Amino acid sequence: MTQRDWIEKDFYRELGVASDASTEDIKKAYRKLARELHPDANPGDAKAETRFKTVSEAYGVLSDDKKRKEYDETRALFAGGGGAFGPGGFGPGGFGGGGGGAQSFDLNDIFGQGQGGAGGLGDIFGGLFANQPGGGRRGTAPAGARRGTDVETELRIDFVQAVRGADVPIRLSSPGRCDRCGGTGAKPGTTPRQCPTCNGVGLVSRSQGAFAFSEPCRDCRGTGRLIDDPCPECGGDGVSTRTRQLTVRVPAGVDDGNKVRLKGQGEPGRGGAPAGDLYVTVHVTPHRLFGRSPRNADDLTLTVPVTFPELTLGSTVTVPTLDSAGVPSTVSLRIPPGTTSGRTFRVKGRGVVRKARTGDLLVTVEVAVPSKLDDAATAALESFAEATKAFDPRADLLGGGR
C-alpha cells in the first residue's frame, strides 16, 4: 500500500463510526465487524476476507492514539479542499492556482526539492509510516509482522459448574508456535539472518516522480529476515499445528452462550507480532431441578411439589439447594397456612455466588394431585367437599362478585 492509498482511505467509514468516536466505540465496532467478516466464519468468501483485511487495517490506525492523530492531521492537510489530493490539489484552484487559494506555495519546498532536498512530503510520509505496524524506520516491526488470528472453540459444562465457576481443561488442535525451532522458522542450530536488501526493516523505498514510496521487500517478503535452512517441522513459518491442553477458568454465573476469552492463546503472530486470542463459547447442560431466573440470572429457581393439606394447614418442607461447593444440600422452608399453589418463596443467599454479590433461591410451591385414591381417601375427600361447600373459588369468575 502506497502513502497516497493510506491518505485517501476513510478508516472511519470502514468501521462505521464518526470521526469523533471514542476509543471504546472504535473497539466495539471493530470487534463486531471482525466477528462477522472473519475468514473462519466465511470460508471461501473472498469479498469477506478482503473486507476483513480492510477493517483490520483501519482498526490498526484508529486504535492507536498517536497514529490516529497523525492520520487525522494528514487527511486534514491533504484530503481537504486545499490538500494535495483534494479538489484544490494539483490543478486549477490548488496551491495558489485560483479558486480561493489565498496563500501561495512553492512546489519545490512542498516536495523537498529546495535547498538540500530536505523536508516536504518525503519527511511527512516518512515520519507517518515509521509509526505504522511494520513501518519504515530501523527498530520498528518489519512490514511482514502481523498479529495472530483469533481462534474460537466451544465447551460444554454442567449446570453446577456454570453456577459456581470451575477450572475446566480442554484440548485444542490449532496452529501454534513451532516447538522444534521455537518459532524462528530456522532449522534448530541455525538462526535467520538479516535481509541485506532492506537491512532488516522489511520495506524498500522507490521514487516515482515527486513521491517516495515504501513497499514490502520482495526478497524477504516483508519479514526483514532470510532463512537459509528452514525448520523441517514448520517449513520456515515458525508455526505448526499441534494439540494443546489448556485450562479454561469459567467464572461463576456464566450463562449458556457466553464467551470466555483467553488472551494470547490464539494463533501465534508472525514476524514478532503478538498472538491472537482464544474465545471459548460456553454451553450449559440444563439441571433436572434447578434453573436460572429470567429477571436476574444470579437467582436460581426451583419448583417444589406439595400436597393440598400442606398448603391449606401450613407445614415445613425440606427443599434442596446448591451450597458454595456446588454439592446438593437442603434447607427447611416454612409454608404458612392458606398458601396458594404457585406462590414463590425467596431463600436468601442460595443462588449464584460472585465476589461482589450473591443471588437467592426462588422456590415455587405447586400442589400435586394424586392420580388414584383408595376408598378411605375418597370418602375423606368427599366429606371435606361437603364440609367446605360454602366456599366457591369461582364466584368472581362466574359473575357472583358483581
The 10s digit of each residue's pLDDT in 318-329 is 999 987 555 668
pLDDT, greater one: 44 or 133 = 44
Residue 94 scores a pLDDT above 60:
no
Nearest to 51 by CA among 63, 25, 33, 64: 33
Which of 102-106, 187-191, 274-278, 307-311 has the least mean pLDDT?
102-106
- Could you tell me the pLDDT band of residue 171, with boundaries at 50, 70 and 90? confident
Residues listed for the chain: 402
3-state secondary structure of 365: strand
Which of 70-84, 158-172, 311-325 has the least mean pLDDT?
70-84
Residue 125 scores a pLDDT above 90:
no
C-alpha 184/C-alpha 240 separation (Å) is 12
Summarize the confidence of residues 41-59 as an average pLDDT: 83
pLDDT, greater one: 138 or 247 = 247
3-state secondary structure of 108: helix
Q: Ranked by mean pLDDT, which of 9-13, 99-103, 245-249, 389-393 comes out on top?
A: 245-249
Which of 26-35, 57-66, 136-145, 248-257 has the least mean pLDDT?
136-145
Residue 30 scores a pLDDT above 60:
yes
Residue-level pLDDT at 328: 65
- Could you tell me the pLDDT band of residue 400, with boundaries at 50, 70 and 90? low
Whether 128 contacts 74, CB under 8 Å: yes
Looking only at the bridges linking them, the beta strands covering 151-158 and 166-177 are: unpaired
Cα distances from 317 to residues 90, 156, 323, 346, in angstroms, run 88, 34, 18, 14
| Residue 194 φ then ψ, to 5° | -70, 135
C-alpha cell at 282: 460456553
**Which CATH code, of 1.10.287.110, 2.40.340.10, 3.30.70.141, 3.30.460.80, is assigned to 3-97?**
1.10.287.110
Backbone CA torsion sign across 16, 19, 22, 27: positive
Nearest to 271 by CA among 178, 180, 184: 184
Residue-level pLDDT at 356: 80
Residue-level pLDDT at 92: 38
C-alpha 279/C-alpha 149 separation (Å) is 11
C-alpha 322/C-alpha 316 separation (Å) is 19
Residue-level pLDDT at 208: 65
pLDDT, greater one: 393 or 308 = 308
Do 3-97 and 151-192+227-285 have matching folds?
A: no
Cα distances from 65 to residues 3, 6, 9, 300, in angstroms, run 19, 17, 18, 44
pTM, 2 dp: 0.51
Identify the CATH homologous superfamily for domain 151-192+227-285: Urease metallochaperone UreE, N-terminal domain (2.60.260.20)
Burial annotation 92-122 (CB, 10 A radius, 16+ → b, else e):
ebbbeeeeebeeeeeeeebbbbeeeeeebbb
Rounded (5°) CA angle 379-380-385: 95
Residue-level pLDDT at 80: 44
Summarize the confidence of residues 328-339 as an average pLDDT: 91
Residue-level pLDDT at 145: 62
C-alpha 319/C-alpha 322 separation (Å) is 10
Domain ranges across the chain: 3-97, 151-192+227-285, 290-387
- Could you tell me the pLDDT band of residue 108, with boundaries at 50, 70 and 90? very low
C-alpha 314/C-alpha 21 separation (Å) is 61
Residue-level pLDDT at 148: 80
3-state secondary structure of 241: strand
When computed from its CA atoms, the radius of gyration of the chain, rounded to whole angstroms, is 35
- Could you tell me the pLDDT band of residue 161, with boundaries at 50, 70 and 90? very high
Whether 112 contacts 120, CB under 8 Å: yes
Residue-level pLDDT at 306: 96
Q: What's the mean per-residue pLDDT of the chain?
A: 78
Q: Does domain 290-387 have CATH number 2.60.260.20?
A: yes
| Residue 40 φ then ψ, to 5° | -65, -30
Label residue 129 exposed, middle or buried (CB < 10 Å: 0-12, 13-18, 19+).
buried
